[in-house]
Amino acid sequence: MDPVKDVSLYVLLFNTLAALVVEVYPEDVFKFQTHIDNIAVSANGRVFVATENYLHQLNQSLKLEVLNQTGPLLDGPCVEQQGCCVKWNKTANMNKILVVDETRTRVLTCGTLRLGACNVRKLHNINQYETDQRPNVAAFHPEASTIAFLVKAQPVDYLVTATTSTGKFSRFVPPTCKVGSNYNENSDGTILLRNPTENVGDPKFLAFTEGESGDAAVKLNEAVELQYIHGFQWQKHIYILFNANNSVPEIIHMAISEYRVATVHSFSQATLLYPTSKKQALGVLSSALINLSSSQAFMVAIFSQQRQSENSPLYFYNLTQFNGYKKGGKSYFEIPNLKVSFLMVTL
């Protein structure tokens, strides 16, 4: 395989951006009472907004169609209340996953209640839903990150989920639950490729085991806290961007295959580099995919030092040049029967 080419990084000057921006004022406004966790839009323009304890369904004019309350509920970090290592309390629900599935005309929602399990809602009315019992689809601690997105593969789709580890060695575990408790520890993996095509109640729904091929799972090889920022599909590739403790941000790349396990086995990891005179590493606050054409796309990322808004540079990365491997670097992940490759993404 050819050595990795430099990934071009484009810094747009503010005067260039200003020349491209057209001053536009919103025609319709809808105000929310609490902070927004997630937003998704369907193909016909219907808007779904998740806030603390509520799901909103808005039409194209941002008029409220349906309001569904999702919390607070009596909840705790164990499968059952009796014998749990902490006392269960009325707990707010923070939405972690909000995915519109156009093919199956439904919306998948998963929050911090019920150990990160999900509800499957009708696309035309989120008040009509079925409750799934599979835990740990979303991270159930409010400060632990979760990303989820559908991948269009042939012949079927799959759902990628990536969650911050909430295992017994993480900072999210109550002190009374660290030793000899019934705390619900998620040891399946930090990145999972799940089956979204079945119905609620089917054992295959949201499962990541793929028959005799094994688990479509990426696990951590050490006790490290990863905060996942953004995940997306571009062409036949999966990209996942994350921050790792105080190190520089990194990105995961996988080539989409018909089989989920084969996709996982294409795993590679890259370090995102950026020009800076600061000794302290910057973290990614947010990122987005910008498609210029069917053959060219950029990932735009906003960086910040310890969430300080006065130091938030904006960088563009050319995705078309993630096309090789280079030895070196450190990987936080392990995949059965696979040596993880590491990409160095340079200027």
pLDDT digits (tens, 9 = 90+) for 47-64: 999 999 999 999 999 999
pLDDT of residue 235: 92
The helix (run of H) or strand (run of E) holding residue 301 is: strand 296-304
Average pLDDT over residues 188-201: 92
Q: How many CB atoms lie within 10 A of CB 251?
A: 26
Q: CA-CA distance, 24 to 21, in Å (whole number)?
A: 9
Contact 273, 346 (CB under 8 A): yes
Give CA–CA dist 232/288, Å, rounded: 9
If one compares 145 and 332, the residue with the highest pLDDT of the two is 145
Model pLDDT, residue 211: 83
Q: Return the higher-pLDDT residue of 315 and 22.
A: 315
What's the whole-number mean pLDDT along residues 274-299? Answer: 81
Please check the confidence at residue 184 and state whether its pLDDT lies above 80: yes
Q: Which amino acid is at 121?
A: R
CA atoms within 13 A on the CB side of 180: 0
pLDDT score recorded for residue 77: 94
The DSSP secondary-structure symbol of 209 reads: B
How many angstroms separate the CA atoms of 224 and 331, rounded?
11
H-assigned helices in the chain: 14-20, 260-264
Question: Which tens digit of pLDDT belongs to each residue from 94-125?
Answer: 999 999 999 999 999 999 999 999 999 999 99
Structural domains in the chain, CATH included, are 9-22+36-345 (2.130.10.10)
> pLDDT (tens digit, 9 = 90+) per residue, 228-269?
999 999 999 999 999 987 677 889 999 999 999 999 999 988
Q: Can you say how many angstroms the Cα of residue 120 is from the centroid of all Cα atoms in its chain?
A: 18
